Amino acid sequence: MRVLITGARGQLGHDLTSLLIGDEIHATDFAELDISDRRAVASMVRELQPEWIINVAAFNDVDGAESAEAQAFAINAVGPGNLADCAADVGAGMVHVSSDFVFDGTKGSPYTEDDRPNPLSVYGRSKYEGDQRVLNSKASACVLRTAWLYGIHGKNFVKAILDRAKQGRPLEVVEDQVGSPTSAPDLADAINRVIRTPARGLFHVTNAGACSRFEFAKAIVRGAVEVRPITTAESGRLARRPANAALTSVRWAAAGLPPLRPWQAALKDFLDSNAL
């Protein structure tokens, strides 16, 4: 298939591009395509005539978005809307990757696709608007919400914890934030599967299960250093975070797609396979 990938230099983009090596891939990043520029998007889509557009581009600086609202909305909301509209114009399918931060974390149990979002931050609001623009477009689209993504490329929580652990000192990690850690290679595989099916609409796609950031960090360091729990308030972060934004799906398996493996198994495989 002919596939246009936006945000291809990020951690998920790298894994996705490598996985789709048997297809005709056109991998772009911001330098090649500013997705907030409607004319640039339309021109590239008309020229390439892709069968699928996969958008993994995002403004992911949660704290930075608080003081860069216009930029966050341009990339996370306007951009996906542009891609969806242009996908519809050429009859292409679209996959857009979204976030657990569209929820406020007060439900007390994992969120399904049927739960109503209530984002707490600029980042969360921008991602939710992007979801809406894609789902309300005329494109044949899938919106995949994921969480706590990590991989060998780019910046992520797993790599940050491993780097800090190398210093040999105890780590302080928040224990009052719960989510669904997700392997970028596993999510890339899920995207590869969904574009070869008739499945469309909104899906939550994460590795199975949930944990706190504190529990996640302990699993990452595997006893190499002490991990001490702190509160979100003590962490001094600027943007509000959902307390428990764990995700689960009531639609993925119903669409005939295999569930992702437990987060513990994915993390073990990642740590065993990569010398970081």
The yes-or-no answer on residue 128 being catalytic is: no
The Cα-based distances of 186 to 190, 217, 263, 266 in angstroms read 6, 20, 10, 8
b (16+ CB within 10 A) / e for 102-112:
bbbbebeebbe
- Residue 47, number of CB atoms within 10 A of its CB: 9
122, 65 in Cβ contact below 8 A?
yes
β-pairing, 227-230 vs 182-183, is unpaired
Listed residue (60, 65, 56, 30) closest to 44, CA to CA: 30
Which DSSP string do the residues of 96-136 spell out, in sequence order? EEEEGGGS-S-SSS-B-TTSPP---SHHHHHHHHHHHHHHT
Look up residue 250 and give its amino acid: V
CA distance 85 to 41: 10
Q: Tell me 78's DSSP state.
A: I
* Active-site residue, selected from the candidate residues 111, 123, 128, 150: 123
β-pairing, 178-179 vs 211-212, is antiparallel
Would you name the residues annotated as active-site residues? 123
